[in-house]
Structure 1
Amino acid sequence: MTAAPSVDPLLARFLADVQANAHNRAILDRWEALALPEGWLVAGCLFQTVWNLRSGQPATASIKDYDLFYFDPDDLSREAEQRVQARVEHLLGDLGVAVECANQARVHLWYEADFGEPYPPLQSARDGIDRFLVPATCVGVRPGEVYAPNGLQGLYDGILTMNPLTPHRALFEKKVAAYRARWPWVTVASAASAPSVASAI
């Protein structure tokens, strides 16, 4: 008799926590209709849900928007991205939350103008997840898959370190201040200690 494959308990906890946020759950339920190339649900709607739950707050508390990454190198125009944004808003508008779509193939065209720091052309949507300012927050989900290049332990421990792929100190410190104002238990550390791993289900 073959034993059933073991499930990483932290991964299972993460998936349960993410779906405790009804907006995350609804977006993932409609994933096929969104039809985003290399699409991922990413960023604050995931790790902030986890931190809200750890803090005893409602899962959706103070989450400003729900970010969707995709990758379309064939059309880098702002207009094409706006068309995707409009279609997604049509499909998800009844949720009553802000949803932001970003084509990761074109981030390098506007990032420096917006944030004052250089940004390289990316090769995939995962590359964009890799470059969040805080490694513990580098997470993405889609049905059947979790992408966590730095693992999940740092997220649950609330460890804030600067990402060597985007070593932009002023932007990092602004993020840290915003996070600590909402979740005072998170901790700033000098270097990331989590291994680089990708988790899949």
Structure 2
Amino acid sequence: MLTSQDDIIELIEADEWMMQILHTAKILALPDWWICAGFIRAKVWDTLHQFTKRTPLPDIDVIYFDPTATDERQEKIYEKQLHKLHKGVPWSVKNEARMHRLHQFPPYTSSVDAISKFPETATAIGVKLDAENNLILAAPHGVTDLLQLHLKPTPFFSSTTERLDIYRSRLSKKNWQLTWNNITVSLIFKTLHATVKN
């Protein structure tokens, strides 16, 4: 039974494949790096749905924050390096110091700030290894929605009609309920819990 952030950390630590992915990403030593979104969300939802096989991921989202080098070509170089280190993994590398430009959002101040402004609270989560290889989880909006299988927009995405439209479009495109049928969906955000825990 998953009921807390510590449970999620233990779940990931017990998953050999996920830990291999994290150790591979750490090799690049990217500034303010995290693996985020579906990498964690799918593992939690698979577990809560008692799936015996891992749901395939369209990509492994590695993010970092480097305002000194925001050329997209650098991200592709990092992706190639990761593919050489761990073949067969759908690596996706993004520098959050430039990603705000895609939707003309205000600049992010860090990777965790960017994570806090992901569309869904259940997706707004990241994990990485520290210098001692301890697992660190960043959950700017807490883990309650993730653990309760509740999809709702983050405060950032519920603050304007345009962003809510993006959120709704993602719900339709991703169709997560087809894979995880116990999910509930909401169009409003109610609570905020800021968490970064070792």
1:154 to 127, 133, 145: 145
- Structure-2 separation of matches of 1:175 and 1:183: 15
Under a length normalisation based on structure 2, what TM-score does the superposition of the two structures give? Answer: 0.84
Structure 1 counterpart of 2:4: 10
**In 1, are the aligned partners of 2:4 and 2:143 still within 8 Å (CA)?**
yes
AA partner of residue 142 (structure 1): K
Q: May I ask how many residue pairs the two structures share in their alignment?
A: 186
Structure 2 counterpart of 1:172: 167
The share of aligned pairs that are identical, in percent, is: 24
Structure 2 counterpart of 1:3: none
Quote how far apart the aligned CAs of 1:98 are.
0.4
Quote how far apart the aligned CAs of 1:85 are.
1.7
Under a length normalisation based on structure 1, what TM-score does the superposition of the two structures give? Answer: 0.83
Secondary structure of the 1:147 match is strand
2:181 to 181, 184, 195: 184
Structure 1 counterpart of 2:30: 36
1:72 to 59, 62, 66: 66
Secondary structure of the 1:141 match is strand
2:100 to 70, 90, 108: 108
AA partner of residue 37 (structure 2): A
AA partner of residue 129 (structure 1): I
Measured against aligned partners, the alpha-carbon deviations of 1:96-139 in whole angstroms (never above 9, x if no partner) come to 22011100011133x23xxxxx3222121112211111112211
Measured against aligned partners, the alpha-carbon deviations of 1:145-195 in whole angstroms (never above 9, x if no partner) come to 110011111101011112221342232123334111211211123433443
Q: Which runs of 5+ in 2 are unaligned?
A: none
**In 2, are the aligned partners of 1:65 and 1:99 still within 8 Å (CA)?**
yes
Distance 1:68 1:58, change over 3 A: farther
Secondary structure of the 1:68 match is strand
Secondary structure of the 1:47 match is helix
AA partner of residue 196 (structure 1): H
- Structure-2 separation of matches of 1:175 and 1:25: 28
- Structure-2 separation of matches of 1:32 and 1:135: 25
| 1:136 partnered with 2:127 | no
- Structure-2 separation of matches of 1:36 and 1:71: 8
Report the aligned-residue RMSD: 2.1
Structure 1 counterpart of 2:111: 125
**In 1, are the aligned partners of 2:78 and 2:93 still within 8 Å (CA)?**
yes
AA partner of residue 187 (structure 1): T
AA partner of residue 180 (structure 2): W
**In 2, are the aligned partners of 1:21 and 1:59 still within 8 Å (CA)?**
no
- Structure-2 separation of matches of 1:49 and 1:59: 10
Greater than 6 Å deviation, 4+ residue runs: none
Structure 1 counterpart of 2:91: 99
Secondary structure of the 1:136 match is coil
- Structure-2 separation of matches of 1:153 and 1:163: 13
